Amino acid sequence: GAGVSQSPRYKVAKRGQDVALRCDPISGHVSLFWYQQALGQGPEFLTYFQNEAQLDKSGLPSDRFFAERPEGSVSTLKIQRTQQEDSAVYLCASSLEERRGEQFFGPGTRLTVL
Partner 1 sequence: DAKTTQPTSMDCAEGRAANLPCNHSTISGNEYVYWYRQIHSQGPQYIIHGLKNNETNEMASLIITEDRKSSTLILPHATLRDTAVYYCIVSSPRGNAGGTSYGKLTFGQGTILTVHP
Task: Select from 91, 95, 114, 113 the least CA-distant residue to 104.
Answer: 95
Can residue 67 be called a binding residue for partner 1 (CB under 8 A)? Answer: no
- Determine the interface stretch with partner 1 among 11-19, 65-73, 80-88, 96-104 (rule: CB under 8 A): 96-104
Q: Which of 31, 75, 82, 94 binds partner 1 (CB under 8 A)?
A: 31
Among 13, 30, 56, 72, binds partner 1 (CB under 8 A): 56
H or E, element range at 21: strand 19-24
Per CB under 8 A, which region of 10-18, 43-51, 60-68, 75-83 contacts partner 1?
43-51
Say if CB 52 and CB 31 are below 8 A apart. Answer: no
Q: Which amino acid is at 68?
A: E
